[in-house]
Amino acid sequence: MLSQTLFFRLLRDIFDEIGIQFASYNDDIETAGQKVQTTYRGLRETSASAYLRPVFPERKDRLHILTRALATKVLINDNGTAYGVQYMRDGQDFTAIARKEVILSAGVFGTPHLLMLSGIGPKSELDLFNITTISDLAGVGSNLQDHLVVTSAIATNITRPKNTNMETEFIMNGQGNIAYDNMVVWARKNSGAESGTSMDQRANPYPEIFLFAFETELSNNTLGLAMVTILAHPRSTGKIRLQSTDPTVQPKIDPNYYSNEDDYRLHIAGIKESEKMVNTMALKNVGGRVVPDPTCIGKIYGSDEYYRCLINHKARFGWHACCTAKIGAGTDEFAVVNPQLQVYGVRNLRVADASVMPHITTANTQAPCYMIGEKASDEIKNTWRQ
């Protein structure tokens, strides 16, 4: 990996030229900085290693973790109260009974799937599968959102330095370049493109684009920059629907990407903005040049036609799907849970995962998911403390 000092000096110089401060991007959305990550001594920290493993030995009598199990249905009695969960394990069906309440954390796809199988969701959808509707909630499985990602390559004349100690330094001490993510994040308040959506009229509009920039090896030991341009708030939304009443059959996922023309317009403007970095002296001094994608040979590089081709062939989702059981007021026809994360129309049933987000964040969704878990924990304690 390219020396962290050299890599950051190059990027600092680039951002200085375009007038963007290189500091902590958590303090100002127009600031570029090193990507924040959950690591300890060079290793990835997860919710399991941070929340579960430290307390599990002393709470074995209260915390029971069952692996290789698939939840298949929330059990709800005649008065609309959730009282347990059915699940499958090793080909057998089991039932777990809740003394107080059921909390779903099955994720952006699993939670709406399980809710619909349990009779909670759009009645018109449930009727197609002869599922009795317990709570008619149009928002279950709707409002699916994700970040949309396109990567451009900027080549340089920099060659990979010889360093035979990187692996040893990491293995022995958890330190060195391998232990750190040399990725830089830059958020833009706007992409420079016009769009016809009300989101642009907000008093404090969301950034439309954010960028990841990191070192990449292109060919012949030559290094370059990967410029990952991310559409932060796509106007297009998708949905999740049932394919079967069999809980082992995955739901049908329709992401509906780029169905709103504004998404093309905004993303194209954002990619163009990120590729302008090649015009800085910092990159020119190291032979910086954009590498047109061979998929779109025949299109004029720099034209909207070229970038539309690039998006159609190379755009991918950001692994940040969310919002399919969103939080909202009872007057919102697409709200699924209330501010306490309780499911509308069913008692003693709560959701705590990315599906409750009303709209996607202008950042990765890992930290917001931790926050949702903390929020759910507080609400559960407040409910049963009374």
3-class SS letters over 195-222: CCCHHHHCCCCCCCEEEEEEEEEEECCE
Q: DSSP class of residue 354?
A: G
Phi/psi-derived region of residue 16, left when phi > 0, alpha when psi is between -120 and 50, beta in every other case: alpha
Separation of alpha carbons 27 and 269, rounded Å: 25
4-46+147-317 and 66-144+321-385, same CATH topology = no
Separation of alpha carbons 214 and 227, rounded Å: 7
Q: What are the structural domain ranges in the chain? A: 4-46+147-317, 66-144+321-385
Q: Phi, psi at residue 70, to the nearest 5°?
A: -120, 115
CA 99 to chain centre: 33
Mapping DSSP to helix (H, G, I), strand (E, B) and coil, where does residue 39 land? strand
Give first-to-last CA distance, the chain, whole Å.
Answer: 56
Question: β-strand 120-121 against 135-136: which pairing, if any?
Answer: parallel
Beta strands per DSSP E along the chain: 32-34, 39-40, 43-44, 69-76, 82-89, 92-97, 102-104, 120-121, 135-136, 148-159, 184-188, 209-219, 222-231, 239-241, 252-254, 289-291, 316-317, 349-351
Catalytic residue among 113, 147, 233, 320: 320
Separation of alpha carbons 234 and 249, rounded Å: 29
Residue among 206, 134, 210, 194 at smallest CA distance from 358? 206
Q: Phi, psi at residue 109, to the nearest 5°?
A: -100, -45
Q: Which residues of 50-70 are buried (b: 16+ CB within 10 A; e: fewer)?
A: eeeeeeeeeeeeeeeeeeeee
User: What are the C-alpha distances in Å from 190 to residues 151, 186, 210, 226?
Assistant: 19, 12, 9, 21
Residues 6+ away with beta carbon under 8 Å from 311: 150, 258, 264, 267, 268
Q: What is the pLDDT of residue 207?
A: 78
Separation of alpha carbons 237 and 260, rounded Å: 9
64 has catalytic annotation? no
Q: DSSP class of residue 373?
A: H
| DSSP-assigned states of every residue in 59-100 | GTTT-----SEEEEEEEE-TTSBEEEEEEEETTEEEEEE-SS
Tell me, which fold does domain 4-46+147-317 have in CATH?
A: Glucose Oxidase; domain 3 (3.30.560)
Tell me, which fold does domain 66-144+321-385 have in CATH?
A: FAD/NAD(P)-binding domain (3.50.50)
Separation of alpha carbons 146 and 230, rounded Å: 10
**Averages of pLDDT over each 10 residues, the chain, 386 residues:** 61 85 66 76 82 88 91 97 97 96 98 98 98 98 97 88 59 59 60 50 67 80 86 95 97 97 94 91 93 91 95 95 96 96 98 97 90 96 87
Stated pTM of the model: 0.89
